[in-house]
Amino acid sequence: MFRNAKSGRGYDSVSDVIEDELHGKTMECIDFCIGEIQEPYRAALYILARNCYTGHKVWLSPRLPKDPIERGTIILEARNQLTRRLMAAGVM
């Protein structure tokens, strides 16, 4: 999901090319870390990312509980798992 994310602007200099390559490697690491997380936490991260991208909280997943408190708990744990994995990988 995140591996092939590219910016919409062209390259202006060598530093832009290097920065884009580093950004791509970071996105590959994030994609790998999310892929290693078990359900329903992975679904929670995908929905969270989609809602952040669109700027609206309209996306839900049938894999997550309908109760907002339970869903919030799962989302919080999913974010914590991802943060721990990214810190272990040296991305954060």
Please state the pTM of the whole predicted model: 0.70
Lowest-confidence range among 8-17, 49-58, 62-71?
8-17
Mean predicted confidence (pLDDT) in 6-11: 59
78-89 tens-digit pLDDT: 999 999 998 998
Per the listing, tokens 């991208």 go with: 53
60-77 tens-digit pLDDT: 888 888 888 998 899 999
Q: How does DSSP assign 17-83, residue by residue? A: HHHHHHHHHHHHHHHHHHHTSPTTHHHHHHHHHHHHHHTSS----TTS-SSHHHHHHHHHHHHHHHH
For position 58, what pLDDT does the model report? 79
Q: Give every CB contact of residue 23 below 8 A, 6+ residues apart in sequence.
A: 7
Domain ranges of the chain: 14-89
